[in-house]
Amino acid sequence: MVHKRLILDSMIPEKLLYDPEEGYGFVFPDGTVRNEEKRDSLPGEYSVPPVPSFNVDVPDGNYKVCIKASMTGDKRDLAIRTGPGHLNRRIVQAEREECFAVHVCDGKLKIAFIGNQPFSGSLEITSAPEVPILFLAGDSTVTDQSSSQLPFCGWGQMLPFYLPEDVAVSNHAMSGRSSKSFIEEGRLERIWNRIRENDFLFIQFGHNDEKDNEGGTRPLSTYQDYLRIYIEGARKRGAFPVLISPMHRRLFDEQGNIINTHGDYLAAMEELSLKEKVPYIDLAGKSKTLYEKLGEEGTKKLFMWADPGDYAKYPEGIQDNTHFQESGALEIAKLVAEGMKEHKLEPFSAITGY
């Protein structure tokens, strides 16, 4: 069932402002400080400078979104984002139709069209309850970072770019969480309240499990015990769990090789995946290969490295060897997509673009 079919012109969003009675329209950024916990960022706020976001009132659920865009000029590049900064598609052709799935949980489907050229086109939103949802459980490297934290970016925000049009993403990852604290704070319960038969649960923990605090776990005992709760809970509900090892930090030895800061946690997750017969994406191994190929200097462009003045939030610059900016999150998401296709999980065998 087609929920909404609209004609858009990005050049004059002022003529199509959001109207509660109509239930759709453009919303302009107003400088509101956004919150990761609330997932209240608008997709247009993930642009510098920010752009208006197109909001459509819809019941919670899954939707197929199809966008036809026509652009003029030589430097065509239209990024389509939804929700809290999810990158769904990029259009570089003069004329193109792109479709993708979106999961809505706050009554509004939010879309931003971010590009360097004016465009015109149409937007069609269709209810798609049959579309499977890919739930993400993880930490700050996975989460939907708020627009107020730019250029921080979790790979969960970039993953939709690589997915086929019949898979929606619901990212429940949260900064600072371990496999233990994610459960204790009731975050896994929120997933259980939404997950359905034939949905997916992708699980990446480790960075915060390693810490010596209340959220910490032991690799060959409590870490595996908590991960098993995710696996068994998903299977009980007819969903499919997938384990993803934590990517490496940007730490090189003198020979240019990545140093493993995760200790026994990597082996513990792989061991559990074999025992439980769960698909395992070796993101640690894949990230090691990527980092060593780029080298110590080349990897700076992936991580949160910025010079003074590059970003207003970091006037003195920043050097962070754990977290990613958008280019890095996009590369990590590509590695995850690669692993999904390697396991030949349906519908992920249709993944392209890497």
Same fold, 2-127 and 133-350: no
Selected catalytic residue, list 175, 210, 323, 331: 323
Cis previous bond, 347, omega within 30: yes
pLDDT tens, 300-353? 999 999 999 888 888 999 999 999 999 999 999 999 999 999 998 877 766 665
DSSP state of 209: T
Would you state the pLDDT for residue 126? 96
Element spanning 91, H or E: strand 86-91
Give residues with Cβ within 8 angstroms of 272, minimum separation 6.
Answer: 224, 227, 228, 231, 243, 278
Burial class (CB in 10 A: 0-12, 13-18, 19+), 333: buried
Sequence letter at residue 243: L
CATH of domain 2-127: 2.60.120.430
Domain ranges of the chain: 2-127, 133-350
Would you state the pLDDT for residue 277? 98
Instruction: Tell me whether residue 316 is one of the annotated catalytic residues.
Output: yes
Sheet with 318-325, side-by-side order of all strands? 152-153, 318-325, 303-306
Selected catalytic residue, list 53, 140, 170, 287: 140
Instruction: Tell me whether residue 323 is one of the annotated catalytic residues.
Output: yes
Element spanning 2, H or E: strand 2-9
The pLDDT profile of the chain, 354 residues, written as one tens digit per residue, is 566 787 776 657 788 899 999 999 999 998 888 999 999 999 999 998 999 999 999 999 999 999 999 888 777 889 999 999 999 999 888 889 999 999 999 999 999 999 877 788 899 999 999 999 999 999 999 999 999 999 999 999 999 999 999 999 999 999 999 999 999 999 999 999 999 999 999 999 999 999 999 999 999 999 999 999 999 999 999 999 999 999 999 999 999 999 999 999 999 999 999 999 999 999 999 999 999 999 999 999 999 999 998 888 889 999 999 999 999 999 999 999 999 999 988 777 666 655
HSE-CB of 161 using CA atoms within 13 angstroms:
28
Would you state the pLDDT for residue 180? 98
Would you state the pLDDT for residue 188? 99
Would you state the pLDDT for residue 347? 79
CA 13 to CA 53: how far, in whole Å? 9
Give residues with Cβ within 8 angstroms of 297, minimum separation 6.
Answer: none
Strands 108-115 and 78-82: antiparallel
Per CATH, which fold does 133-350 belong to?
A: Rossmann fold (3.40.50)
CA 285 to CA 342: how far, in whole Å? 14
Burial class (CB in 10 A: 0-12, 13-18, 19+), 20: exposed
Q: Which tokens go with 207?
A: 């960075």
Burial class (CB in 10 A: 0-12, 13-18, 19+), 72: exposed
